[in-house]
């Protein structure tokens, strides 16, 4: 894929019972495949298939369970669709089985920190890797997250992640970074990340941003007397599109979302605006 001409859209398929955004809706293989087809028809450039929830405080899933969830889905979608499929995993064996089934990108929220063999799998198959910033693990990341310098600290982390990937034999041209919206960040942290996203272009690799349905959007939009808003409601999607717009204007090359159709309309307008500025 070539980045820069337009913003690419990564559509999310959660083959899990407990994802914060749509837990259980696509747990069966048939439902997950149907959702993948739907997102592709809506204009997704990439499908991101995951079998382990990474919501705050989530418990880890054994590799064999994760494989059973995602590999049959990836195999069927890879056979039917021409767009790239990404495997959202932190485990080397899951990544290997997913790539053998047809995945061609590894989306690792641990940035090659949790499984020492994951980088070797990406190197062996020559697959691009997404390296994301996260404080701790999903189980601990939202326990009072704090930073001395949010943008500086995340930049240092991502720069080190790029070096780590290169040391494991992965070319920098195969690295994508993700500043990790919602992964060990407060509402204010997420807003600052979106407003300062341009800072990460200095790392000279494509940037992925995943704001879709995240809790900071729901917290900003909920009534003061409400505990939360369901993630898949229209008002949350409206808030998501505002965050997507900020990401695109800040230089994101890929946006990771649940509603591809609405995102496609958003990015087409913003990409046209950016192109007009360059004429």
For residue range 203-225, what is the model confidence (pLDDT) as tens digits? 999 999 999 999 999 999 998 87
Q: Which of 164, 110, 150 is nearest to 134 (CA)?
A: 110
- Looking from the CA of 161 toward its CB, the CA atoms found within 13 Å total 27
Q: Which of 187, 124, 129, 122 has its CA nearest to residue 158?
A: 129
Closest CA to 207 of 267, 146, 254: 254
Distance CA 210, CA 25 (A): 20
The verdict on pTM exceeding 0.75 is: yes
Alpha-carbon distance 214 to 139, whole Å? Answer: 16
97 is catalytic: no
Alpha-carbon gap, residue 128 to 131, rounded angstroms: 10
CB 77 within 8 A of CB 47: yes
Pair type for strands 254-257 and 129-132: unpaired
Q: What is the pLDDT of residue 153?
A: 96
- Cβ within 8 Å of residue 32, ≥6 positions away: 13, 15, 26, 49, 73
d(CA 41, CA 209): 22
Cα separation, 53 vs 196, whole angstroms = 28
Choose the catalytic residue: 96, 97, 214, 218: 214
- Residue of 97, 185, 213, 256 marked active site: 256
Q: What is the pLDDT of residue 86?
A: 98
Compute φ and ψ for 157, nearest 5 degrees. Answer: -60, -50
Q: How far apart, in whole angstroms, are the C-alpha atoms of residue 50 and residue 140?
A: 20
pLDDT on residue 21: 55
Range 231-234, long-range pairs (CB < 8 A, 24+ positions): 231/20, 231/21, 231/22, 232/21, 232/22, 232/258
Residues 253, 240: Cα–Cα separation, whole Å: 17
- Letter string b/e over residues 141-156, b meaning 16 or more CB atoms within 10 A of that residue's CB: bbeebeeeebbeebbe
Residue 273: Cβ within 10 Å count: 12
Per-residue confidence (pLDDT) for residue 24, from 0 to 100 = 65
pLDDT of residue 50: 96
Instruction: Please count the other Cβ atoms lying within 10 Å of the Cβ belonging to residue 196.
Output: 15
Sorted by where each starts, the structural domains of the chain and their CATH numbers stand as: 8-278 (3.20.20.20)
pLDDT digits (tens, 9 = 90+) for 55-113: 777 778 999 999 999 999 999 999 999 999 999 999 999 999 999 999 999 999 999 99
Q: Give the model's pLDDT for residue 23.
A: 59
DSSP 8-state assignment for residue 124: H
User: What residues in the chain have per-residue pLDDT under 70?
Assistant: 1, 18-24, 141
222 is catalytic: no
């Amino acid at each position: 894929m070539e980045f820069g001409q337009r913003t690419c859209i990564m559509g999310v398929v959660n083959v899990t019972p407990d994802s914060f955004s749509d837990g259980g809706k696509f747990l069966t293989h048939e439902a997950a495949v149907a959702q993948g087809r739907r997102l592709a028809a809506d204009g997704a450039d990439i499908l991101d298939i995951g079998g382990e929830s990474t919501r705050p405080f989530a418990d880890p899933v054994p590799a064999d369970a994760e494989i059973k969830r995602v590999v049959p889905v990836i195999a069927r979608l890879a056979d039917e669709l021409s767009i790239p499929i990404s495997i959202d995993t932190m485990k080397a064996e899951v990544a290997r089985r997913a790539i053998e089934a047809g995945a061609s990108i590894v989306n690792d929220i641990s940035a090659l920190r949790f499984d020492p063999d994951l980088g070797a799998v990406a190197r062996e198959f020559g697959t691009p890797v997404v390296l994301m910033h996260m404080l701790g693990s999903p189980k601990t990341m939202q326990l009072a997250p704090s930073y001395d310098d949010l943008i500086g600290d995340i930049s240092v982390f991502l720069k080190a992640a790029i070096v780590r990937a290169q040391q494991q034999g992965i070319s920098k041209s195969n690295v994508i970074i993700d500043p990790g919206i919602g992964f060990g960040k407060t509402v204010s942290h997420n807003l600052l990340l979106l407003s300062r996203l341009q800072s990460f272009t200095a790392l000279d690799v494509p940037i992925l941003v995943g704001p879709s349905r995240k809790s900071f959007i729901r917290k900003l939009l909920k009534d003061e007397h409400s505990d939360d808003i369901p993630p898949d409601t229209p008002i949350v999607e409206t808030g998501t599109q505002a965050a997507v717009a900020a990401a695109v204007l800040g230089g994101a090359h890929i946006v990771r979302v649940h509603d591809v159709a609405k995102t496609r309309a958003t990015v087409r307008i913003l990409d046209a605006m950016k192109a007009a500025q360059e004429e």
